[in-house]
Amino acid sequence: MAQSLYEQLVIQTQMNYSRYYGVYAQGGTPIKLTKKPPLPYDQQIKIFAQKVQEADHIIVGGASGLSAAGGGDFYYSATSSFKKAFKRYYDKYKINGAFAGMMNHRWASRGEYWGYLATFLHTTLHARVRQPYRDLQAILKGKDYFILTTNQDTQAIKAFPETKVAQIQGDHRFFQCSMQCTDDVWDATKKIDEIYDYLEEHDTTAIPDDMIPRCPHCGAEAFPWVRGYGNFLEGQRYQEQYQKISDDIEHHLHDQHVLFLELGVGRLTPMFIQEPFWALTNNLPGAYDVMVNRDYQFLPQQIEDKGTAIKGDLAKVLTDVRTTLGR
């Protein structure tokens, strides 16, 4: 099958990423940036709102910063929300955030590891739709849009119709076979709730061995369907997600005004949102790219007249844009 335009752009960035890994790892980009100083914040917010109004189609790229801005801040350090949701595990191991727990090698048993894993998944699956996503709902109201997200936490699919969302880095609602014996992914939510209820009822960190979720085909342990641990299943569901964003881009190549929104893209994954959006903005006449990031303000020279890079708190930016739009 021929590669879609989106796939080509991802592959291009992946090659760039390997070549300039050091630059990215230090928080930089090998892409030549504009020398123009950024406009004042208030003006940038007005431009953001105006571009939303003008757009025929809006493609939102939601990355880690978008979930973190709304209080999903338990991934990378032992924040108060982490200590609360993972209390038994924090008290026992002083784990420094949800991802660090995934790498903890001191689990007493597989049952304890699974207790932790289910606690992690339960926390995200049962989280309410956070404020930045609610502001985004208001901003996109009445517009034609699509959401591409590298987040696995299901915030985007809770806030928007699933047909308009591609979760290309996995999804906490599904298990896969840890040994990748099958292309199937299957529902994880019921099992996660069962495990969580067991932990609560027994006030314990571990589940019995016979509760550990297993692959229905080969009996190996299940694993969450997420990238990041070296066994991400790029099977049918993955292809479907890729196809969704590829199709959406193809369908709107000839729109007069496509607006790209880069929300909270970190330096480790420029290949799925940031650089494809930059390339598309450069190539499509009438396209525009708004980038919002807490730490970086990167506006490529090539699109210096077709983009705005806002450095700031993503939650505040989205609230300010919503207010400006009067929605």
Which spans of this chain sit near Zn ion (rule: CB under 5 A)? 177, 181, 215, 217-218, 220
Report the residue number, 98 or 215, with the smaller CB distance to Zn ion.
Answer: 215
Q: Phi/psi of residue 145, each to 5°?
A: -150, 170
Tell me how far apart the alpha carbons of residues 213 and 64 are, in angstroms, rounded to a whole number: 27
Q: Smallest distance, Å, CB 114 to Zn ion?
A: 16
Q: Smallest distance, Å, CB 218 to Zn ion?
A: 3
Report the residue number, 102 or 181, with the smaller CB distance to Zn ion.
Answer: 181
Q: Phi/psi of residue 297, each to 5°?
A: -135, 80
Tell me how far apart the alpha carbons of residues 174 and 194 are, in angstroms, rounded to a whole number: 15
Report the residue number, 236 or 283, with the smaller CB distance to Zn ion.
Answer: 236
* Cβ partners under 8 Å of residue 312, min gap 6: 41, 292, 294
Q: Smallest distance, Å, CB 183 to Zn ion?
A: 10
Query: Between the CA of residue 287 and those of 42, 261, 274, 281, what are the distances in Å?
Result: 22, 11, 14, 5
Q: Smallest distance, Å, CB 174 to Zn ion?
A: 14
Report the residue number, 25 or 218, with the smaller CB distance to Zn ion.
Answer: 218
Q: Smallest distance, Å, CB 234 to Zn ion?
A: 16
Report the residue number, 215 or 303, with the smaller CB distance to Zn ion.
Answer: 215
What is the CB neighbour count within 10 angstroms for residue 55? 23
Q: Smallest distance, Å, CB 193 to Zn ion?
A: 22
Q: Smallest distance, Å, CB 258 to Zn ion?
A: 41
DSSP secondary structure letters along 264-293? S--TT-TTTTHHHHHHHHHHSTT-EEEEEE
Report the SS3 class of residue 303.
helix
Report the residue number, 177 or 233, with the smaller CB distance to Zn ion.
Answer: 177
Q: Smallest distance, Å, CB 182 to Zn ion?
A: 5
Tell me how far apart the alpha carbons of residues 140 and 152 are, in angstroms, rounded to a whole number: 21
Q: Smallest distance, Å, CB 186 to Zn ion?
A: 11
Planar angle of CA 189, 190, 196, nearest 5 degrees: 90
Report the SS3 class of residue 149.
strand
Amino acid at 179: M
- Sheet strands (E) in the chain: 57-62, 145-149, 165-167, 170-177, 186-187, 222-226, 258-263, 288-293, 307-311
Report the residue number, 27 or 219, with the smaller CB distance to Zn ion.
Answer: 219
Report the residue number, 132 or 170, with the smaller CB distance to Zn ion.
Answer: 170
Tell me how far apart the alpha carbons of residues 31 and 237 are, in angstroms, rounded to a whole number: 32
Alpha-carbon torsion, ordered 181, 183, 189, 190, to 10 deg: -60
Report the residue number, 213 or 300, with the smaller CB distance to Zn ion.
Answer: 213
